[in-house]
């Protein structure tokens, strides 16, 4: 059994609204994520999935409860737990290469910045586009550069906030398959937040189903379907259909 890398202990989160009233976003979340594990968090919009990810990254602090990373409380963001946002993935004033170089500089990389940055662009097959600004790339390419940039920080945990939500169906499948074939090989711990059940099952080894307002984990499901090369192959398997039905029951 692998050791837990992230532990959430009865974590609750409250927001203060503009009118000074308080909203409870997350209620008593209690779970742990193990080293090298790929966990999908699935739930409807507004159930607190992104808030959960922000807490894990250290960008937000829980109102009560504790979040541990390698058995120590999370107090600040760290490049060991990198979050990949749905939007605002890349800095628009930097080229694809410069976006990655920025991260390398932030982690005090001392070697040849350009060569190292190119190495990460090669991982996502975008080395030819290194001098393009994000807006000169397609959304799918931007996502791939964003993931290359996240990987360049050499994180232990990758936190994905619906990274493929802005892509259309076919492009989403292509990017998702390509990106995760690379990312799986790196044996990193990953947490993917999504409202898309298919995506959650395709990527995750374990699924945390969230529901309600405030958000709670209502079910944890182990994915025992063998991983297929592409998402369409998985879609028609009876195990997947059963699993989807089960998840949908809790999400709704």
Q: Looking at beta carbons only, is 90 or 209 nearer to another protein?
A: 90
Q: Looking at beta carbons only, is 82 or 123 nearer to another protein?
A: 82
Q: Looking at beta carbons only, is 98 or 173 nearer to another protein?
A: 98
Q: Looking at beta carbons only, is 85 or 250 nearer to another protein?
A: 85
The three state secondary structure string of the chain is CCCEEEEEEEEEEEEECCCCCEEEEEEEEEEEEECCCEEEEECCCCCCHHHHHHHHHCCCCCCEEEEEECCEECCCCCCCEEEECCCCCCCCCCCHHHHHHHHHHHCCCCCCHHHHHHHHHHHCCCHHHCCCCHHHCCHHHHHHHHHHHHHHCCCCEEEEECCCCCCCHHHHHHHHHHHHHHHHHCCCEEEEEECCHHHHHHHCCEEEEEECCCEEEEEEEECCCCCCCCHHHHHCCHHHHHHHHHHHHHHC
In the bound complex, what is the minimum distance in angstroms from residue 79's beta carbon to another protein? Answer: 4
* List of residues contacting another protein (CB under 8 A): 57-59, 76-79, 81-83, 85, 87-88, 91-94, 102-103, 105-107, 133-135, 153
In the bound complex, what is the minimum distance in angstroms from residue 142's beta carbon to another protein? Answer: 13
In the bound complex, what is the minimum distance in angstroms from residue 157's beta carbon to another protein? Answer: 11
In the bound complex, what is the minimum distance in angstroms from residue 43's beta carbon to another protein? Answer: 21
In the bound complex, what is the minimum distance in angstroms from residue 193's beta carbon to another protein? Answer: 15
Q: Looking at beta carbons only, is 57 or 143 nearer to another protein?
A: 57
């Amino acid at each position: 059994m692998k050791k837990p890398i992230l532990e959430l202990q009865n974590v609750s989160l409250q927001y203060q609204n503009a009118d000074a009233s308080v909203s409870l976003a997350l209620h008593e979340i209690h779970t742990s994520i193990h080293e090298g594990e790929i966990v999908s968090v699935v739930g409807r919009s507004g159930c607190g999935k992104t808030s959960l990810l922000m807490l894990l990254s250290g960008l937000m602090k829980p109102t009560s409860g504790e979040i541990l990373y390698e058995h120590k409380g999370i107090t600040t963001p760290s490049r060991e737990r990198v979050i990949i946002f749905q939007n605002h993935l890349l800095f628009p004033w930097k080229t694809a290469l410069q976006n990655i170089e920025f991260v390398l500089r932030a982690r005090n990389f001392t070697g040849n910045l350009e060569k190292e940055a190119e190495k990460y662009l090669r991982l996502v097959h975008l080395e030819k586009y290194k001098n393009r600004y994000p807006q000169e790339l397609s959304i799918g390419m931007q996502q791939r550069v964003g993931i290359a940039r996240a990987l360049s920080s050499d994180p232990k945990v990758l936190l994905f906030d619906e990274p493929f939500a802005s892509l259309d169906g076919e492009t989403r499948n292509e990017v998702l398959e390509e990106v995760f074939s690379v990312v799986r090989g790196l044996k990193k711990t990953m947490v993917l937040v999504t409202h898309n059940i298919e995506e959650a099952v395709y990527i995750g080894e374990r699924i945390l189903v969230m529901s309600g307002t405030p958000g709670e984990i209502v079910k944890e499901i182990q994915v025992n379907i063998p991983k297929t090369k592409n998402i369409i192959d998985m879609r028609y398997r009876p195990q997947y259909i059963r699993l989807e039905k089960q998840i949908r029951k809790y999400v709704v």
